[in-house]
Amino acid sequence: MSWLKTTQINLFIIISIIIFSLIVWFPTQNLPYHWDSAGFVINSARTLLNNNFNPLIVPDSDFAHPPLLIGLLALMWKLFGQSQLVSHLLMFPFLPIYLISIYYLAKKLFNLPIAIVTTIICATTPVVIAEYGLIYIDLPMAALTMLGLSLWVNKKYILSIIFLSLAALIKLPALGIVGGLVVWQLWKKQYKQIYYLLTPFISFGLWLIYHYQIENWWIARPNRLTNSPHTLSAFLKAIIFVSNNLFLEQGRLLVTVIFLLSITIIIIKKLSKKLKAIYLPVILLLISLFPFVTTGEYGARYGIFLYPLYYGVCIYTLFLVFQFYKIENKFIIISLIIPFLFFQFWHPKLSVSRNYLFKPSEDLSYQDMIKIGQQMSQFSQTKFPLAHFYGGFPESYQLTQPYQGYVNKELNFSQCPQFQLNTNWQQIIIYHPYSPVQINCSILLQQIVVVPLAYFEQNGKWVELYLVNATQSAKINKPPTN
C-alpha cells in the first residue's frame, strides 16, 4: 500500500471518528450531572475552585484519586464560568483521543483491517458511549492511557511516558498498563526503555506523598469497607466476578465465544506460531486486571482502558482463521456483527421492577435516571417548595444542589433515617429502589400514614413521592428515630 493511500485512509478514519464523537456527544451537552459524576467529580471540582486550588486534594472520595481531571474541570469553570455545557465540553476530546489511539495501536500490533474492526467495536461498546455523557474519570484515563500505549509501540517513548503519567494522575489503574510494559521490556531484554517507564510511578508516588501530608492516609480512607478477598475461595470468586464483567456482559459474550472458537481452530490447524502478535496485549491485560481481582472492586466503566486490548486479541485470532481459509476479503463485513450487537445494548428497553438495584447504569439508561430525577425535582420545587423531603441518593444532590442541574433553589431535604413527624410543615417521602438508604425509606413508609402524591417513570426507571399525614401517623404509631 502506497504512502499516499495509507495517509488517505488514516485521514478518513480520523475524520470519521471525530464526526462520530460529535454525533454521540451533542445530545449530552446540557445534561444534568448524574451519580458519581455529581457526588464526586462536580462537588470535588467546586471544592477546589472555592479553595483556590489549595490544597490540591479531591475530598469527596474514599480513595486517593489524583486531581488532574477534576482540577482541569475547576480551571475551566474559573475561565469560562460554571455550567453543564462547559463541563461536557471538557469531555468532548476524550472519545476521539481514545478511538484514534486504538486505531493506531491496533494497526501497529496487527494490521489495518483489525485496527478498523477493533476501533469500531470500541466505539460501539455501550459503557463507552454511556461514560461519554458523564463527567467522570474513567474515559479520560482510558483515552490518555491508549494514547500513551500507542505512542510507546510506535517508539515515541518520551511522549508516551508523558501521557501515561497524565493518565495515572487521573486514575491509578493506568499504572497497570505501565507495569505490563515493564514486564514486556524485561521479557524482551530491552532494559533501557524501563527507565522511561519509571516516570509514571514516580509521578503517582509524589502525588501520594503530597496526599498523605494533607489527609494522613494513603490509597484508601481508613476504616472503609473493602471487598478484598482473604481466602482462596473469595479470590476465585473475585476472578469470576471480574471475568464475568469484562468478558461476558453487554454483548461481550459474543466476542468471547468468537475468541474461544478461533483459538480452538488455530490450535487444531497448528497456527500457534502466529499468535506472537497477541503476547503484548495479553500481558498488559493480565497485569492490569490483577489489582481489580485483589481488591474485589470492578465495574464495566473500569474496563474501558482494557477493552481495546481484549477486542484486539479476539479479532486478531478471528482474522487468522479467515486468513487460513482464504476469506480475508469478508473479514470486516462479517466482523461488523459485533458492533451491531453492541448497539442493541446502548439503550435497552427495561421493564419496571420493584427489586432493589444499587449498581449504577452502565448504558444510556442513566439518562432515564436523569429524566425521572428532573421530573421529580421540578414537581417538588413547583408544587411543594416549602415541604421537607426525605429520601436517599441521588435526590440528596438533586434537591439540594442547584448547580447539579435539577432545581433552581435548594429544597429542604434529609435522609430517611433522620425522619421525625412534624405537623408544622408538609413532609414528603421519596422512594425508589436505586440506593441502599431507600431500604430505610421503605421501612418508614410501612410505619406511618402516607398518601401517594406522584409517580414518575421512564423506560423502567421510576420514583414515587408520598405525602405524610402527620396527624394520623402520630395516632397510630410512634415514628422511628435514628
Does residue 415 sit in the same domain as residue 330? no
Instruction: Judge whether 361 lies within some domain.
Output: no
Point out the least confidently predicted range of 111-125, 221-235, 362-376, 435-449. Answer: 221-235
pLDDT band at residue 82 using 50, 70 and 90 as cut-offs = very high
pLDDT above 70 covers a percentage of the chain that reads 98
Reading the block at residue 422, the C-alpha cell is 412534624
Beta carbons within 8 Å of 292's beta carbon, 6+ residues apart = 173, 242, 298, 302
What is the structure's pLDDT at 481?
52
What is the structure's pLDDT at 471?
81
What is the structure's pLDDT at 480?
54
Does residue 64 sit in the same domain as residue 173? yes
Q: Which residue type is seen at 25? A: W
Instruction: Judge whether 352 lies within some domain.
Output: no
What is the structure's pLDDT at 60?
75
Does residue 36 sit in the same domain as residue 103? yes
What is the structure's pLDDT at 246?
96
Over residues 108-147, the pLDDT tens digits come to 999 999 999 999 999 999 999 999 999 999 999 999 999 9
Q: What is the Cα–Cα distance from 419 to 441, expressed in whole angstroms? A: 9
Over residues 194-223, the pLDDT tens digits come to 999 999 999 999 999 999 999 999 988 888
Over residues 332-342, the pLDDT tens digits come to 999 999 999 99
Q: Which residue type is seen at 415? A: Q
Instruction: Judge whether 270 lies within some domain.
Output: yes
In this model, does residue 4 exceed pLDDT 80? no
Domain final position from 308, 343, 378: 343
Instruction: Judge whether 360 lies within some domain.
Output: no
Instruction: Judge whether 269 lies within some domain.
Output: yes
What is the structure's pLDDT at 200?
98
What is the structure's pLDDT at 58?
87
Point out the least confidently predicted range of 229-243, 355-369, 380-394, 462-476. Answer: 462-476
pLDDT band at residue 96 using 50, 70 and 90 as cut-offs = very high
Grid cell 486534594 in the structure block, residue: 57
Q: What is the Cα–Cα distance from 119 to 103, expressed in whole angstroms? A: 6
Polymer length of the chain: 482
Q: What is the Cα–Cα distance from 331 to 113, expressed in whole angstroms? A: 8
In this model, does residue 470 exceed pLDDT 90? no
Average pLDDT over residues 226-254: 93
Does residue 91 sit in the same domain as residue 240? yes
Q: What is the Cα–Cα distance from 165 to 198, expressed in whole angstroms? A: 10
Does residue 397 sit in the same domain as residue 250? no
Does residue 302 sit in the same domain as residue 393? no
Reading the block at residue 277, the C-alpha cell is 502478535
Reading the block at residue 386, the C-alpha cell is 416549602
| Strand-strand pairing, 461-468 and 450-458 | antiparallel
Average pLDDT over residues 419-427: 93
Cβ–Cβ under 8 Å, residues 163 and 104: no
pLDDT band at residue 477 using 50, 70 and 90 as cut-offs = low
Grid cell 497524565 in the structure block, residue: 166
Range of the domain at 153: 3-343
pLDDT band at residue 62 using 50, 70 and 90 as cut-offs = confident
Reading the block at residue 328, the C-alpha cell is 480475508
Does residue 310 sit in the same domain as residue 373? no
Please state, as a whole number, how many other Cβ atoms lie within 10 Å of the Cβ of residue 136.
24
What is the structure's pLDDT at 472?
81
Average pLDDT over residues 285-299: 94
What is the structure's pLDDT at 475?
73
Does residue 179 sit in the same domain as residue 51? yes
Tell me the average pLDDT of the chain. 95
Instruction: Judge whether 356 lies within some domain.
Output: no
Does residue 417 sit in the same domain as residue 304? no
Average pLDDT over residues 320-325: 97
Q: Max CA-CA distance within the chain? A: 86
In this model, does residue 479 exceed pLDDT 60? no
pLDDT band at residue 245 using 50, 70 and 90 as cut-offs = very high
Does residue 374 sit in the same domain as residue 469? yes
What is the structure's pLDDT at 6?
86
pLDDT band at residue 190 using 50, 70 and 90 as cut-offs = very high
Domain final position from 286, 309, 343: 343
Does residue 335 sit in the same domain as residue 439? no
Average pLDDT over residues 54-62: 87
Domain final position from 312, 343, 374: 343
Q: What is the Cα–Cα distance from 11 to 41, expressed in whole angstroms? A: 34
Total tally of structural domains belonging to the chain: 2
Cβ–Cβ under 8 Å, residues 329 and 320: no
Instruction: Judge whether 348 lies within some domain.
Output: no
In this model, does residue 388 exceed pLDDT 80? yes
Does residue 371 sit in the same domain as residue 325? no
Average pLDDT over residues 334-351: 96
Q: Which among 80, 91, 92 has a CA at the least distance from the CA of 49?
A: 80
Cβ–Cβ under 8 Å, residues 127 and 362: yes
Is residue 81 packed enough to be buried (19+ CB in 10 Å), middle (13-18) or exposed (0-12)?
Answer: exposed
In this model, does residue 482 exceed pLDDT 70? no
What is the structure's pLDDT at 1?
61
Instruction: Judge whether 350 lies within some domain.
Output: no
CA 429 to chain centre: 30
